[in-house]
Structure 1
Amino acid sequence: MERLAHHARLEWEGSTGVGYRAYSRNHSATAAPASASLQLSADPHFKGDATLLNPEQLIVLAASSCQMLSFLSLAARKHLDVVAYTDDATGYLSEDLRKASIEQITLNPTITVTEGTDEGLVRELVEQGHDECYIANSLNSTITITPTIVFAG
C-alpha cells in the first residue's frame, strides 16, 4: 500500500535584517487541493500578531479536530446517533522555553446524543477515538480528554 502524503506550502516575505523585535512573523499557508489559505503569525508572546492563528493553536485545533473525526467515525459505524459535538481545547507550552514543546493538550468535548443512548458506549468510543487519532499518535504531548455527554430531547 502506498503511503498517504499530505502536502503544505508556507510563504513568508520580509527582512530579518531589521532585528529580532522588528521582523514580521506574519505568513500564509495553503494545502492543495484545498483552496483555503490561512493567514498565520507567531504567538503574541513571541512578537506575533494576536489577531492571526499561530502554530501552537493549529496543533491544538488539529488534535481536537482529529479526536472529533475519529470519534464520529466510530459512532457512525455503531449507529450511535450523535447530533452535536463541540470542544473547548487548550494546549499548554512547557515552562522551559529552551526545550520548547506543547507538553499537554486538554480536550473538553461536549457530545450531544439522542435520548436512550448508552453513555458508557459513548465514553468507550471517545477513548477508542483517541487511540485511533493520527494526530494524537503523532504528538509527544500528553492529551487528556474530559467529555461531557448531553442527551438531546
Structure 2
Amino acid sequence: MSRDHQYALDVVWTPTTQGGTADVRRFGRQHQVSADGVGVLEGSADPTFRGDVDRWNPEQLLVASLAQCHMLTYLWLAALDGIVVTSYVDHATGTMVESGGAGQFHEVTLHPVVEVAPGTDVGAAESLHARVGEYCFIARSVNFPVRHEVQTTIAAQTPPDSREAN
C-alpha cells in the first residue's frame, strides 16, 4: 500500500537594500523559513556565498536532515530490536564540491556516538546503522553516499539505590 505525505512551508525573502537584486554582490541573502506550528528558522546563504554566518544555510540543513533522519530511524530500529539506547550524539559532516559556479554534494558522513544500556550486544547495536538506509526517507532520496563512522559505548552500571536493598 502506498501513502502520500505532503509537506508545506514558506520561504520568505525581503530585500535588505534598495534595488533588490540589482547588484549581485550586495543583495541580502537573509530569509525566513516557516511552517505551521513550528516557528521560524532564520536562513541565509553559506558565508562563502555572501551569506550571514549567524543563520542556517541550505547546505547545513541538508546535512542536518540526513543526520536527524538517520538518528530517528536508528532509534526506531533499536527499539524494535530490544536495544536500549541511552544517549545519541552525531557530529555530521558533508562535502560539497563547487565547480564552474555550480556545486553538488559529494558525500555526507555521519559520526554517531551511541551509548547503550549495560548488557547490550554492541555488534548488534552497530549493525543497525547499516539497516537505516533501507528506511530513512531522506537518505533514500539523495544521489550521493551517506556514510557512517559509528562509536558505540556501554553506559555505566548504576549502583542499586541503598533504600531498595532493605
1:131 aligns with 2:134: yes
Following superposition, the deviation at residue 12 of structure 1 comes to 0.4
Following superposition, the deviation at residue 112 of structure 1 comes to 0.3
1:115 match: secondary structure: coil
2:152 match: secondary structure: strand
Counterpart of 1:25 in structure 2: which amino acid?
R
TM-score, scaled relative to structure 1: 0.94
| Structure 1 counterpart of 2:67, from 64, 67, 71 | 64
1:16 match: secondary structure: coil
Following superposition, the deviation at residue 9 of structure 1 comes to 0.9
Confirm or deny: 8 A CA contact 2:69 2:138 kept in the other structure.
yes
Structure 1 residues 104 and 41: alpha-carbon distance in aligned structure 2, compared to 1, 3 A threshold: same
- Give the structure 1 partner of residue 21 of structure 2: 16
In 1, Cα distance between equivalents of 2:98 and 2:12: 29
Following superposition, the deviation at residue 102 of structure 1 comes to 1.3
In 1, Cα distance between equivalents of 2:110 and 2:132: 12
In 1, Cα distance between equivalents of 2:8 and 2:100: 28
Counterpart of 1:13 in structure 2: which amino acid?
T
In 1, Cα distance between equivalents of 2:130 and 2:6: 26
Q: Percent identity?
A: 32
1:1-153 equivalences under 5 Å are: 1-14=2-15, 15-17=20-22, 19-32=23-36, 34-153=37-156
Q: Which has the higher contact order (CA 8 A, sep 6+)?
A: 1
- Give the structure 1 partner of residue 163 of structure 2: none
Confirm or deny: 8 A CA contact 2:122 2:153 kept in the other structure.
no
TM-score, scaled relative to structure 2: 0.87
1:100 match: secondary structure: strand
Following superposition, the deviation at residue 113 of structure 1 comes to 0.2
2:32 match: secondary structure: strand
Counterpart of 2:137 in structure 1: which amino acid?
Y
Unaligned runs of 5+ in 2: 157-166
Structure 1 residues 97 and 149: alpha-carbon distance in aligned structure 2, compared to 1, 3 A threshold: farther
Following superposition, the deviation at residue 77 of structure 1 comes to 1.2
Please tell me the root mean square deviation across aligned C-alpha atoms, in Å. Answer: 1.2
Instruction: Work out which of the two has the higher radius of gyration on C-alpha atoms and give 1 or 2.
Output: 2
